[in-house]
Amino acid sequence: MKSSDELFQSVQALLPRSVVRRDEPLGKRTTLRVGGCADVYVEPSCEEDLGRTVAWCHEGGVPLMVLGRGSNLLVRDGGVRGVVVCLAHPSFARIEAVGALLRCGAGAKLKAVAAAARERALGGLEFLEGIPGSVGGALRMNAGAMGSAIFEVITAVRCMNESGHAQDRGVEEIGFEYRSCPFFKTHIAVEATFRGQPDTKEAVVLRGQQLNQRRWESQPKEASAGCIFKNPSRKLPAGKLIEELGLKGARRGGASVSTVHGNFIINEGSATAADVLELIEFIKARAKAEQGIELSEEVEVIGE
């Protein structure tokens, strides 16, 4: 692979209309606020520039990663090699309403999607407001909250393959699992179409307020990546397991297990990615030794 200098210069020449930065700190772009730098960081100005970036990286064997709003993500302290793409340009955040459908760019915040649905008196999308991510990131991990998940409320996606070609697909063409969508490990989400349920605006607002109240009461306010582990089963959520192990408040460096919710690791202000990873391994070891349960991470760990 090219040196970081050569890589930066090549990408900058390829994308004169887009934001291209070298050695961009990724900690400030994740909700956990930890992690190293990206060799080259790109904010494409449009779908065409995204396609150019993807094709160029694929043809040149340059590692490529797409960053959403940085929730459910842990970047190691050594940073990320190659190119990191973030769909932060307004062209990827458009939300268009057509009847009960909302066509939303992959860079749109889920909170904005929920607000658009609320303004149009469309129910069923209220849970999205509680997920601190973007549409694209939520599709990649089949994000969910309050008993609902994103693939339950979308009808179609626009996606891009490794060669930079975009196409539209029905949701039935895309396989997904609990907190995972293997399809988006090889494709990039560009847009998704959500289907709401016509209702009264008052009812939609009330349900949203009720869900927000539940979230405020059950989740920490400090910086976190969201839930760290997948639930081992419906009967035993990971947070309850961690609480039963007596690990609320457990600490490694500047990272600790939230005393509000056992499945959240919070950054107390000085945490490193190494602190968080050490705490994750400690929790997994205790769960295995004391309960015979193999916890697996919901949070995605990337970088060196």
Mean pLDDT of 236-261: 96
Mean pLDDT of 277-295: 97
Mean pLDDT over each residue of the chain, to the nearest integer: 94
Q: Are 122 and 197 in contact (CB under 8 A)?
A: yes
Q: Locate all alpha helices (DSSP H) within 46-95, ordered by sequence.
A: 47-60
**What is the helix (H) or strand (E) element at residue 239, kind and residue range?**
helix 238-244
Q: Are residues 113 and 176 in the same domain?
A: yes
pLDDT of the residue at 176: 87
Q: Are 53 and 15 in contact (CB under 8 A)?
A: yes
Q: Are residues 26 and 124 in the same domain?
A: no
Q: Are residues 229 and 198 in the same domain?
A: no
Residue 46 lies in a domain: yes
Q: Are residues 46 and 115 in the same domain?
A: no
Of residues 76, 78, 83, the one with CA closest to residue 1: 83
Q: Are residues 185 and 276 in the same domain?
A: no
Residue 141 lies in a domain: yes
CATH number (domain holding residue 255): 3.90.78.10
Of residues 230, 206, 191, 40, the one with CA closest to residue 106: 191
- Quick count: other Cβ atoms within 10 Å of Cβ 232? 17
CATH number (domain holding residue 165): 3.30.465.10
Three-class SS state of 32: coil
Q: Are residues 193 and 99 in the same domain?
A: yes
Q: Is the pLDDT of residue 17 over 80?
A: yes
Predicted model pTM = 0.90
* Domain end marker among 60, 90, 120: 90
Taken as a whole, the chain contains a residue count of 304
Which of 2-11, 55-64, 259-268 has the least mean pLDDT?
2-11
Alpha-carbon distance of 288 to 283, in angstroms, equals: 9
pLDDT of the residue at 143: 87
Three-class SS state of 116: helix
Q: Are 127 and 145 in contact (CB under 8 A)?
A: yes
pLDDT of the residue at 130: 82
148: left (phi over 0), alpha (psi -120 to 50) or beta: beta
Residue 156 lies in a domain: yes
pLDDT tens digit string along 125-181?
A: 999 988 888 999 999 988 888 788 899 999 999 999 999 999 999 999 998 888 889
Q: Are 230 and 300 in contact (CB under 8 A)?
A: no
Q: Are residues 83 and 24 in the same domain?
A: yes
Alpha-carbon distance of 45 to 11, in angstroms, equals: 13
Instruction: Give residue 230's domain range.
Output: 224-302
Three-class SS state of 42: strand
* Domain end marker among 90, 106, 136: 90
DSSP letter string, 138-170: HHHHT-EETTEEGGGSEEEEEEE-TTS-EEEEE
Q: Are residues 198 and 107 in the same domain?
A: yes
Number of domains in the chain: 3
Q: Is the pLDDT of residue 299 over 70?
A: yes
Of residues 114, 121, 129, the one with CA closest to residue 99: 121
Q: Is the pLDDT of residue 269 over 90?
A: yes
Q: Are residues 167 and 244 in the same domain?
A: no
